[in-house]
Chain A
Amino acid sequence: MSTLEIRDLHVEVETESGPKEILRGVDLTVNSNETHAIMGPNGSGKSTLAYSIAGHPKYTVTQGQVLLDGEDVLEMAVDERARAGLFLAMQYPVEVPGVSMSNFLRSAATATRGEAPKVRHWVKEVKGAMSDLEIDPAFAERSVNEGFSGGEKKRHEVLQMALLKPKFAVLDETDSGLDVDALRVVSKGVNEYKAQSDVGILLITHYTRILRYISADRVHVFVNGRVAESGGPELADELEENGYVRFLGAAESSKEEQPA
């Protein structure tokens, strides 16, 4: 059993007018076998949270901790975090021209598993995982994400999660831009990995739609760089009904304090 603990996390980014604080004290604990939905309006800092956990160089942590089973993740390089068991399914997966998906997946699996997977098993494993996500095998020979549609990119993010088998996965708006069919396939992939592992999931989303396919144990409303309210699945129902208005009202006043 593992724990991912985020304590009083403050993060800023460099802007033209100087550093701007985006996360303003995030507290959140996710255990193995739990799925936490983080829901919030655009600009609330949800993606910043995702990228900060993964270690994107654009974001500077000014205060707080991210602990994976007590180990300080913030001290680790990006690749070390991944090898420690963290995974980020990105909202905008990056194209890497000239690097084939199969080469990429094998390099990543070799790195995270600590040894090269045996070729025979590996080929079978990849084929199986691709077929689960209804990905055409021809994609294995295409350059990483190059020319993929939005849905194809998201399927490949989930494919990577299934193959790299992280302890914790942050899914950053994996549902955005997907039609219903694609959403169903992607959700099925996530649920299958949940079923066969002890993964803890941080499901970051703008919409409640994906929660019809992936059930969340906890729901956190994220507003203005921090968790405004936490609850059970019923909190998502309330958001479905009323939107973020109730939370935004409270945020407006604190926004005033923020440097523009």
Chain B
Amino acid sequence: MTAEETGPVASSGGGVIDAPGSPVLDVDPGIASASPKTAPWEERHTSYDVEAFEVPRGREEQWRFTPLRRLRGLHDGSATATGRVDVTVRAGFGDSAEDDLTGSGVRVETVGRDDARLGDGGIPADRVAAQAWSSFTEAHVVTINEARSDDAPLTVTVTGPGEGRVAFAHVQLRLERHAEAVVVLDHRGSGTVAANTELVVSDGAKLLVVEVHDWADDAVYVGAQHLSVGRDATIRHTSVTLGGDLVRLSPVINYREPGGDVELDGLYFADGGQHFEQRLLVDHSIPHCRSRVTYKGALQGAVDSAGGTAAHTVWIGDVLIRKAAEGTDTYELNRNLLLTDNARADSVPNLEIETGEIVGAGHASATGRFDDEQLFYLMARGIPEAQARRLVVRGFFGEVIQKIRVPALRDRLEAAIEAELEAVGA
């Protein structure tokens, strides 16, 4: 594979794509040789201390897609805490959720920054994450120590500090040995938030987690997720981003022992004015671990009359297979669907392989306009255009949504997607 194919892939609705139908670009399974330029993770350093990172100027690889002026000072130290996030943990999801967690194998604690468990998930790797770490005053630790039923989700709701306020948040979800849980991490509300979220999954444990970012229009959320994967542990992580002015998420997978199995799914739907950014690092440093990444995004313009900016999504998928990580099995995929002309999707898959002794490694990225052939096919059967579009978009997100184990959440997400489509009269 050439350096070109592993390089940035940008597509905008402005005319880059002329193919009716099929995706313009499909980088299909390939194995990357060492890239001539310095890989992002080689520059990567980690620290809990914000001062260990320089203030980003916007040219840095880590920050080049992010509109820094919209971060409200989270990146340069000028944002100080003027509020706090509200974190609640309930058994169940939606209307039927209950506050009572007695006998559920769940322990909820609010702890200070001196708690030794903090950092088990991972260490900040960018300045905003380090700022959050340096600035938070209380951390919420949710520990699960038994195998809960798949039908009994937990909901952790993180609510923003309110419009015009800034908060630094820290949430840690811990699954003890052989524990199992389905968890919805539901983010909502207003304000400016920088956060670290740790998902610490111990040996033999299994976590199915759906992280929803359904923020109010004003909200800015910059979060680092640190996933620690124990021996033979399983994580199914679904990241859903629907609302907010700017949402930037940086999940890092840290395998601790062999046998780790992680699937990262993602769904994002950006409208005019929204900037949604996902930067993933799957760090295969340990032998015999597995990863699958499937992120799907839809974008639509609907720029308001005030002349706001176009919808912009960024997806960076870094997969590193280190020399020691023999027997690695990995595949990552990102697909973006441009529903209108006024939208821009950047998609950059990176696969770096330092050992040939692997089961498999591949990546694919495709960004395309709405598939006109699909539209034609459905309309040729009498289905009106708007409905045909809805069917195709629902189908596009279907494989991500169907894997979510919480039916009420699936319904909510499907309704949210319908509402998005109706907003532009698609």
Contact = CB atoms under 8 A, between A and B. Distances in A.
Interface of A: 54-58, 77-79, 81-83, 88, 90, 93-99, 103-104, 107-108, 111-112, 143-144, 160, 164
A79 B379 contact: yes
A88 B380 CA distance: 7
Contact of A98 (B377, B379, B388, B396): B396
Contact of B383 (A55, A56, A95, A107): A107
A55 B382 CA distance: 12
B376 A99 contact: no
Interface in B358-390: 372-374, 376-385, 387-388
Nearest to B396: A98
B303 interface: no
A96 B395 contact: yes
A101 to B, nearest CB: 12
Given A57-B20, A103-B391, A143-B395, A96 B378 contact: yes
A99 B395 contact: yes
Given A79-B380, A99-B392, 7 more contacts: A55-B380, A57-B20, A57-B372, A79-B385, A96-B374, A99-B398, A104-B381
15 contacts: A79-B380, A79-B388, A82-B381, A96-B395, A97-B396, A97-B398, A97-B399, A98-B399, A104-B381, A107-B381, A107-B391, A108-B381, A111-B382, A111-B384, A111-B387
B381 A94 contact: no
Contacts of A112: 381-382
B397 interface: yes
A71 to B, nearest CB: 16
B304 to A, nearest CB: 29
B64 interface: no
B383 A94 contact: no
B412 interface: no
A111 B395 contact: no
B394 interface: yes
B379 to A, nearest CB: 4
A111 B372 contact: no
A168 B377 CA distance: 17
Interface string B220-242: 00000000000000000000000
A83 B387 CA distance: 14
Contact of A99 (B20, B373, B384, B391): B391
Given A97-B395, A99-B395, A108 B383 contact: yes
Contacts of A93: 377
Contacts of A90: 377, 380
Smallest CB-CB A-B distances: 6 pairs: A98-B395, A98-B398, A82-B382, A108-B381, A111-B382, A94-B377
B382 A108 contact: yes
Interface string B382-423: 111101100110111111000000000000000000000000
B383 A98 contact: no
Given A96-B374, A107-B387, A83 B382 contact: yes
Interface in B12-32: 20
A129 to B, nearest CB: 15
A96 B382 contact: no
Interface in B191-247: none
Contacts of B383: 79, 107-108, 111
A82 B373 CA distance: 16
B372 A96 contact: no
Nearest to A99: B395
Interface centre among B384, B395, B396 (most CB of A within 10 A): B395
A173 to B, nearest CB: 16
A78 B380 contact: yes
A57 B373 CA distance: 9
A95 B373 CA distance: 9
A88 B382 CA distance: 11
A79 B391 contact: no
A93 B388 CA distance: 16
Contacts of A96: 374, 377-378, 391-392, 395
Contacts of A57: 20, 372, 376
A144 B378 CA distance: 10
Contacts of B373: 94
Contacts of A56: 376
A104 B392 CA distance: 10
A176 to B, nearest CB: 18
Nearest to A111: B382
Contacts of B372: 57
B379 A77 contact: yes
